[in-house]
Copies of this chain bind each other. A is one copy, B any other.
Amino acid sequence: MYGINKDPRSSDQSDDKHNEIAMIKDDKTALTRRKTALTRRRFIQTGFALSAGTAGSLAFNNAQAQFDSQGNLLVAPWTKKTGSDFLTPPYGVPSKYEKGVVRILPTPAAAFPTASRTPLQNLYGIITPNGLIFERHHAGVPDIDPDAHRLVIHGLVDRPLMLTMNDLVRFPSVSMIYFLECSGNGSAELKKRTGTTVQETHGLLSCCEWTGVRLSTVLAETGVKSSAKWLLAEGSDGAAMTRSIPMQKAMDDALLVYAQNGEMLRPEQGYPLRLFLPGYEGNTNIKWLRRLKLGTEPWQTREETSTYTDLGAGGKALQFTFEMGVKSVITQPSGGMRLKQAGFYEITGFAWTGAGKIRSVDVSIDGGKSWDQAALQEPVLNKSLTRFRYPWMWKGEPTVLLSRASDSSGAIQPTVDEVLKLRSANSVYHNNAIQPWLVTANGEVSNGR
């Protein structure tokens, strides 16, 4: 949990606290000289300005090097001894200093929490580590013996089929990096400010490299009757989560996924098998998948009638609004963080769209009066999170930070007011509005909804 965060231990404190900095004797004087000078030097005098395309100064916490009474360098205590041996079990875990980087349950605490959120403010790049991927389950996480698990495919097929996991992993496979977002992500924010941190407002979002079999490959085995227009997908969890999916999507880029980020699915992600529908709302990506039935019409299940529908401004509800809209959010700096001093900061965050690729992300550092294009980290992938970065020189003024994404379909991320022109404030899905972050003169960052 680094840089602009809530960590009460400022670097200045730690500079005083820790005196075991390894240094080279002949640099002692030089470093003493630099201590104050560095806080004034401007990046524009250096290659940094060229690389970041902006002027700015970064106030280095450049502590005095520590030496003993004879002027010999002091070595860090961990350098003086042998470190820890291999872990038992040998599956790695994060550093104990990162114990605050975890998924959280909703706040205010729900009576029956059914989702945990990803700490977006602590993520780097586009891959979400498997231990931090958001969870949404409707009857808890089932404990499934993969050898006992079966996928049944029936209905309007030529050859109904039941497959074991051993069958499925023998099909030709593909690996794709795709985002996954709950359609309820940030929906409460449509009505009013509810979250403090980006984890609370946008944390039902993750991105993985998913590996599995194209559903079209498996359906080629069963054969598909021409009358089949919809697919029923059913989970084997206690909720038997069930959704109707258009056959067009099933035959396009739908996957039967058994692995994420290189290893088998985590239990809360559908172990041993889930449906994956790139760009579609999270709920349709049925976990613990046990059954696919082909039919002529949607089944009008609970999860596509009483829930997961979009309440329009006119009071009518829309069904089957699967695709996630173009969206972005600044994750650093974001709500709950504090800018410790004026100077240079890299504004960074995520952009994504169910429609294809992110085309551009604009950032505003003045509450929307002006916009400037952020840099997109390559490769920019289809239906994946895209990491954007924008160099910012903060002079200590109160302001509002915004990001606005556009995608390959030409869609542009709307403001919350634009969303509310089409959608009732009681609507609880598909809020892809621009997220404002307020910055006060003392550097406090908060939710500007």
Using a CB–CB cutoff of 8 Å, the interface residues on chain A facing chain B are 2-4, 9, 11, 14-15, 17-18, 20-24, 27, 30-31, 34, 38, 43, 46-48, 50-52, 58, 60-63, 65, 76, 78-87, 89-99, 101-105, 113, 116, 122-133, 135, 137, 139-150, 152, 154, 159-167, 169-175, 209-211, 214, 216-217, 219-221, 223, 236-238, 240, 258-259, 261-268, 271-272, 288, 290-291, 293, 343-346, 348, 377, 379, 381, 387, 389, 391
A86-B105, A263-B94 known; A58 vs B346 contact (CB < 8 Å): no
Residues B175 and A78 in contact, CB atoms below 8 Å apart: no
Chain B residues, CB < 8 A from A81: 238
A22-B290, A220-B51 known; A92 vs B268 contact (CB < 8 Å): yes
Specify which of A38, A148, A214 lies most central, judged by the most chain B CB atoms within 10 Å of its CB.
A148
Specify which of A78, A85, A113 lies most central, judged by the most chain B CB atoms within 10 Å of its CB.
A78
Partner of A60 from B14, B80, B105, B163 at Cβ < 8 Å: B163
What residue of chain B has the Cβ atom nearest to residue A344's Cβ? B170
Residues A140 and B82 in contact, CB atoms below 8 Å apart: yes
Residues A34 and B163 in contact, CB atoms below 8 Å apart: no
Residues A147 and B51 in contact, CB atoms below 8 Å apart: no
Partner of A34 from B104, B133, B161 at Cβ < 8 Å: B161
Residues A148 and B76 in contact, CB atoms below 8 Å apart: yes
The 4 closest A-B pairs by CB, nearest first: A47-B220, A83-B140, A125-B175, A124-B211
Residues A95 and B271 in contact, CB atoms below 8 Å apart: yes
- Mostly, the A contact residues are loop
Smallest beta-carbon distance A229→chain B, Å: 18
Chain B residues, CB < 8 A from A141: 83-85
Cα distance, A174 to B162, chains bound together (Å): 46
A91-B131, A291-B22 known; A170 vs B3 contact (CB < 8 Å): yes
A81-B238, A91-B94, A164-B11 known; A258 vs B2 contact (CB < 8 Å): yes
Residues A62 and B161 in contact, CB atoms below 8 Å apart: yes
Residues B116 and A47 in contact, CB atoms below 8 Å apart: no
Residues B31 and A264 in contact, CB atoms below 8 Å apart: no
Cα distance, A61 to B162, chains bound together (Å): 8
Residues A170 and B258 in contact, CB atoms below 8 Å apart: no
What residue of chain B has the Cβ atom nearest to residue A9's Cβ? B147
Residues A172 and B52 in contact, CB atoms below 8 Å apart: yes
Specify which of A9, A145, A154 lies most central, judged by the most chain B CB atoms within 10 Å of its CB.
A145
Smallest beta-carbon distance A138→chain B, Å: 10
Chain B residues, CB < 8 A from A30: 154, 159-160
Cα distance, A79 to B80, chains bound together (Å): 55
Smallest beta-carbon distance A222→chain B, Å: 9
Smallest beta-carbon distance A67→chain B, Å: 13
Residues A127 and B164 in contact, CB atoms below 8 Å apart: no
Residues A221 and B79 in contact, CB atoms below 8 Å apart: no
Residues B89 and A126 in contact, CB atoms below 8 Å apart: no
What residue of chain B has the Cβ atom nearest to residue A54's Cβ? B172
Chain B residues, CB < 8 A from A293: 24
Residues A34 and B124 in contact, CB atoms below 8 Å apart: no
What residue of chain B has the Cβ atom nearest to residue A135's Cβ? B86
Chain B residues, CB < 8 A from A43: 221
Chain B residues, CB < 8 A from A3: 166, 169-170
16 residue pairs from A and B, CB less than 8 Å apart: A21-B162, A46-B223, A62-B162, A62-B163, A84-B142, A92-B131, A92-B133, A93-B131, A95-B264, A95-B272, A98-B264, A101-B264, A124-B173, A124-B259, A129-B263, A261-B261
Specify which of A79, A105, A123, A389 lies most central, judged by the most chain B CB atoms within 10 Å of its CB.
A79
Residues A20 and B92 in contact, CB atoms below 8 Å apart: no
Residues B89 and A290 in contact, CB atoms below 8 Å apart: no
Residues B83 and A238 in contact, CB atoms below 8 Å apart: yes
Partner of A173 from B83, B92, B346 at Cβ < 8 Å: B346
A154-B27, A263-B122 known; A20 vs B148 contact (CB < 8 Å): yes
A79-B240, A131-B92, A238-B82 known; A389 vs B164 contact (CB < 8 Å): no
Partner of A2 from B127, B132, B146, B266 at Cβ < 8 Å: B146
Residues A162 and B132 in contact, CB atoms below 8 Å apart: no
